[in-house]
């Protein structure tokens, strides 16, 4: 475990994962990334063949070409025709050929400045590789951190300008990896508003396949993550490597297969809308990337990724704290509420056992609809019937915690803030605005703007007894042009992210007792950069239980269940118009952090009884869902009719099965459970029946449902 340097080999070893880099006369070559190898002996003959049209950097050696070497970083323009890791404009070109000058082992990590970083434990170690390009007068540092408790290695990169002139970075990936030629699949999480994180698996073919965002946020359409797995890998077998980025802005992740079937992976900030002027003596640090490995299939990769994120990314005080069951007034009232309505809702919630009341959009300034008042963070006392703290006291008196919605990064043209500071919006001179939900984005690249938002939000959080914050972000960025030069504008998108991380790290550290949930029209910024500060995310504005099967499947593919807010809403559903039984709405929402988002005051008595039972039951199973190991039993792929997930925690097991449409064939389904002890006995709580672990895993659990659409069943076992 940890970092070892032996001769010209660098070993970076996490729990069951190794990365081995060779120093070959100053060039860094990736010998292995994958399962643990304690000692590496080999060298790979095919890499020493003469390949036509691949450049040789030395005249007397026709078998060495950067084009066929498996590399990690830093060489561009010397005969490697694949995607570069770095593009830095210096003198009259972008050539770089970094050579290793020194290496060092650090205890703990070297954190990326002003960016989100993983938490490290005592036994984490970091390898620092320092390289130099003497012609360009640039230094490059590669940081690789190994963790004893996870199959993840984290990494980032730093470029320093050693010359006396400014240079311009046009690309700086966080990591690049060349893996052996082979037959691979690529798994990515793709989507749209209200259809976030659809799992897509496709074959890696010759060419380049990229997922990216140039929206100023990671976006609904792609997640800053990419999984490369063997073409034959299944849930339970085969190797898989995930790359993920701790960044919430413009990103790119690509896989490239070249003419020799060699495969290169890269992840980092998107080149689009990006350049970074690096003055003499200055350095630039990339966001941190994670590399997570499994040689027991995609199921184990999920578990490893979930484990790392829960233990090393989320704020520590919330990573292992049970999350409150909430009621949110958005789909219950939208903007149409007064104090009485809110208190009626809170009253009903409290009777049903719900633990947290969240007041969503519409409580501030002149915010009677979504066309105005963003930026005016002043309580509208007329609307909420007096000071905010009075309302909070009344909610607290009912035994509920209190949460509040904000959208701090935005500004409405119809707002006092815009009237005072029109120049604070992101915009380009002479171009007018491009609107989205009638709002503009504040320029967080400007420290004055960050200072204003810090003070405005801090004031409300300090003066009021708030337990939870929903931090929304409801448009993407356009009209970028606030810089006084072209280069200054090219730096704006990344500078925005640095401003955002400054803002959220300040507020979450100062108010460390408040549970923050991030939201961007649902999951429009559901990434590890935000999760480092906000341990919960509203996974989608689509609250339809059947749509949620796919969204929650995709969200949990890499992210821990405890990160995912999941609500029971009205039927027919407001987004999809679908009518779904209250039991199935509850069973699906219980596969995440349970909440309710509907008008409880107007529900039939029977629904209220079911909800009270769901809430009481969820309190029992909550640790299993939020801290348990996650196993996929049946995947709700596009067009599939069934889904099943299992959670195992200590001596408890929860299995949820959902059948979308009634068919003749699926009246009976057998689920083979996973991760149980063969000899142990498990008692099904509902009926008292006892099964052995072996029976449940090898003979399976047979689910029988009556005919009917959108039916589901949840099973709760306790080990005897
Ligand atoms: C976004 C969020 C919703 C709600 C509204 C309020 O769409 O995703 O949950 O908060 O904003 O305007």
On the question of a common fold for 2-315 and 642-719, the answer reads no
pLDDT in tens, 133-151: 999 999 999 999 999 999 9
* pLDDT exceeds cutoff 60 at 45: no
Supply the pLDDT for residue 475.
Answer: 98
pLDDT (mean) for 502-523: 98
The residue that leads in pLDDT, 665 or 439, is 439
pLDDT in tens, 198-208: 999 999 999 99
Supply the pLDDT for residue 457.
Answer: 98
Cα–Cα dist 490/480, whole Å: 8
* 220 within 8 A of 196, measured Cβ to Cβ: yes
List ligand 1's pocket residues with C-beta within 6 A.
330, 360-361, 370, 405, 472, 474, 519, 521-522, 538, 541
Nearest residue CA, atom 11 of ligand 1? 521
Beta strands 326-328; 356-359: pairing state: parallel
CATH code of the region 317-414+444-476+496-631: 3.20.20.70
* pLDDT exceeds cutoff 90 at 48: no
Residue whose CB lies within 8 A of the most ligand 1 atoms, among 217, 360, 439, 468, for a mutation test: 360
pLDDT (mean) for 278-300: 98
pLDDT (mean) for 33-59: 83
* 382 within 8 A of 351, measured Cβ to Cβ: no
Residue 211 Cα, ligand 1 centroid: separation in angstroms?
26
Residue 567 Cα, ligand 1 centroid: separation in angstroms?
13
pLDDT (mean) for 545-571: 98
Residues with Cβ within 8 Å of residue 555, at least 6 apart in sequence: 196, 197, 523, 526, 539, 563, 564, 592
What is the DSSP secondary structure assignment for residue 509, as one 8-state letter?
H
Cα–Cα dist 140/284, whole Å: 10
pLDDT in tens, 66-113: 999 999 998 999 999 999 999 999 999 999 999 999 999 999 999 999
Supply the pLDDT for residue 665.
Answer: 78
Nearest residue CA, atom 12 of ligand 1? 361
As given in the structure block, the two tokens for residue 536 are 């919960």
Residue 521 Cα, ligand 1 centroid: separation in angstroms?
5
Residue whose CB lies within 8 A of the most ligand 1 atoms, among 326, 362, 405, for a mutation test: 405
620 catalytic per annotation: no
Supply the pLDDT for residue 50.
Answer: 79
How many residues does the structure list for the chain? 720
Supply the pLDDT for residue 703.
Answer: 96
pLDDT (mean) for 16-26: 96
Q: Mind giving me the DSSP string for 539-585? A: -BS---HHHHHHHHHHHHHHS-GGGEEEEEE-SS-TTT-----HHHH
370 catalytic per annotation: no
Residue 360 Cα, ligand 1 centroid: separation in angstroms?
8
**Residues 311, 376, 472, 607: which is the catalytic one?**
472
Residue 439: count other Cβ atoms within 10 Å of its Cβ: 26
Nearest residue CA, atom 6 of ligand 1? 361
Residue whose CB lies within 8 A of the most ligand 1 atoms, among 519, 526, 596, 597, for a mutation test: 519
Query: What would you measure as the largest C-alpha separation in the chain, in angstroms?
Result: 86
**Residues 361, 541, 544, 607: which is the catalytic one?**
541
* pLDDT exceeds cutoff 70 at 46: no
- For the chain, what percent of residues have pLDDT higher than 70? 99
The residue that leads in pLDDT, 114 or 638, is 114
* 534 within 8 A of 516, measured Cβ to Cβ: yes
Cα–Cα dist 302/557, whole Å: 5
Nearest residue CA, atom 9 of ligand 1? 541
Helix or strand run (H / E) with residue 455: helix 447-463
Burial class from Cβ neighbours inside 10 Å (0-12, 13-18, 19+) for residue 455 reads exposed
Judged by DSSP in three states, 351 sits in helix
Question: pLDDT grade, residue 52 (50/70/90)?
Answer: confident
- For the chain, what percent of residues have pLDDT higher than 90? 95
CATH code of the region 642-719: 2.60.40.1180
Where do the domains of the chain lie? 2-315, 317-414+444-476+496-631, 642-719
Supply the pLDDT for residue 473.
Answer: 98
Give me the helix-helix angle, 339-351 and 388-397, nearest 10°.
20
The CATH fold assigned to 2-315 is: Beta-galactosidase; Chain A, domain 5 (2.70.98)
Nearest residue CA, atom 7 of ligand 1? 521
Ligand 1 atom nearest to 519, measured from its CA: 8
């Amino acid at each position: 475990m940890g970092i070892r340097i032996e001769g010209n080999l660098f070993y970076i070893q996490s729990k069951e994962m190794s990365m081995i880099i060779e120093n070959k006369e100053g060039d860094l070559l990736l010998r292995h990334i994958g399962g643990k190898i304690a000692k590496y002996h080999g060298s790979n003959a095919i890499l020493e063949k003469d390949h036509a049209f691949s450049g040789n950097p030395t005249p007397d050696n026709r078998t060495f070409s950067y084009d066929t070497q498996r590399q990690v970083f830093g060489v561009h323009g010397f005969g490697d025709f694949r995607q570069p890791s770095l593009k830095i404009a210096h003198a009259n070109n972008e050539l770089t050929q970094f050579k290793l000058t020194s290496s060092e082992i650090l205890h703990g990590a070297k954190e990326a400045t002003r960016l989100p970083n993983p938490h490290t434990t005592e036994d984490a170690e970091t390898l620092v590789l320092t390289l130099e390009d003497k012609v360009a007068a640039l230094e490059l540092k590669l940081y690789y951190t190994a963790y004893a408790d996870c199959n993840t290695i984290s990494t980032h990169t730093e470029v320093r300008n050693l010359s006396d002139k400014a240079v311009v970075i046009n690309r700086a990936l966080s990591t690049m990896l060349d893996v052996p030629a082979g037959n691979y699949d690529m798994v990515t999480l793709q989507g749209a508003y209200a259809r976030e994180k659809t799992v897509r698996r496709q074959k890696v073919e010759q060419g380049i396949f990229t997922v990216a965002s140039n929206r100023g946020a990671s976006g609904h359409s792609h997640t800053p993550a990419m999984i490369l797995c063997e073409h034959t890998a299944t849930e339970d077998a085969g190797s898989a490597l995930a790359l993920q980025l701790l960044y919430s802005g413009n990103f790119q992740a690509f896989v490239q297969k070249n003419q020799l079937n060699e495969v290169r992976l890269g992840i980092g900030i998107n080149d689009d809308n990006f350049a970074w002027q690096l003055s003499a003596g200055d350095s630039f640090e990339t966001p941190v990337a994670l590399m997570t490995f499994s040689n027991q299939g995609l199921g184990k990769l999920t578990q490893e990724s979930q484990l790392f994120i829960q233990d090393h990314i989320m704020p520590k005080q919330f990573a292992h704290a049970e999350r409150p069951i909430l009621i949110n007034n958005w789909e219950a009232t939208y903007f149409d509420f007064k104090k009485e309505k809110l208190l009626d809702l809170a009253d009903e919630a409290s009777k049903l056992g719900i633990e947290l009341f969240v007041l969503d959009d519409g409580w501030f300034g002149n915010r009677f609809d979504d066309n105005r008042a963003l930026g005016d963070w002043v309580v509208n006392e007329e609307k909420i019937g007096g000071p905010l703290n009075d309302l909070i006291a009344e909610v607290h008196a009912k035994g509920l915690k209190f949460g509040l919605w904000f959208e701090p990064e935005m500004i409405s043209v119809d707002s006092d803030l815009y009237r005072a500071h029109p120049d604070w919006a992101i915009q380009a001179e002479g171009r007018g605005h491009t609107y989205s939900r009638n709002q503009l984005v504040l320029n967080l690249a400007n420290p004055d703007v960050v200072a204003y938002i810090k003070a405005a939000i801090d004031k409300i959080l300090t003066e009021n007894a708030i337990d939870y914050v929903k931090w929304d972000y409801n448009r993407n960025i356009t009209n970028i042009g606030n810089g006084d030069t072209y280069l200054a504008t090219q730096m704006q998108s990344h500078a925005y992210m640095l401003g955002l991380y400054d803002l959220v790290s300040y507020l979450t550290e100062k108010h460390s007792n408040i549970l923050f949930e991030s939201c961007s029209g649902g999951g429009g910024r559901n990434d590890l950069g935000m999760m480092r500060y906000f341990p919960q995310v509203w996974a989608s504005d689509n609250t339809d239980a059947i749509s949620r099967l796919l969204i929650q499947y995709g969200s949990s593919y890499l992210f821990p269940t405890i990160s995912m807010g999941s609500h029971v809403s009205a039927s027919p559903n407001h987004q999809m118009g679908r009518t779904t039984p209250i039991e199935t709405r509850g069973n699906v929402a219980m596969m995440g952090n349970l909440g309710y988002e509907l008008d409880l005051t107007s529900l039939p008595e029977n629904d209220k009884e079911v909800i009270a039972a769901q809430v009481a039951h969820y309190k029992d199973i909550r640790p299993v869902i939020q801290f348990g190991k996650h196993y996929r039993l049946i995947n709700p792929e596009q067009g599939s009719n069934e889904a099943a997930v299992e959670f195992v925690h200590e001596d408890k097991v929860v299995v949820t099965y959902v059948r979308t449409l009634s068919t003749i064939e699926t009246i009976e389904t057998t689920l083979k459970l996973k991760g149980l002890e063969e000899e142990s006995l498990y008692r099904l709580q509902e009926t008292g029946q006892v099964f052995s672990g072996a029976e449940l895993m090898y003979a399976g659990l047979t689910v029988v449902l009556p005919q009917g659409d959108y039916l589901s069943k949840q099973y709760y076992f306790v080990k005897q």
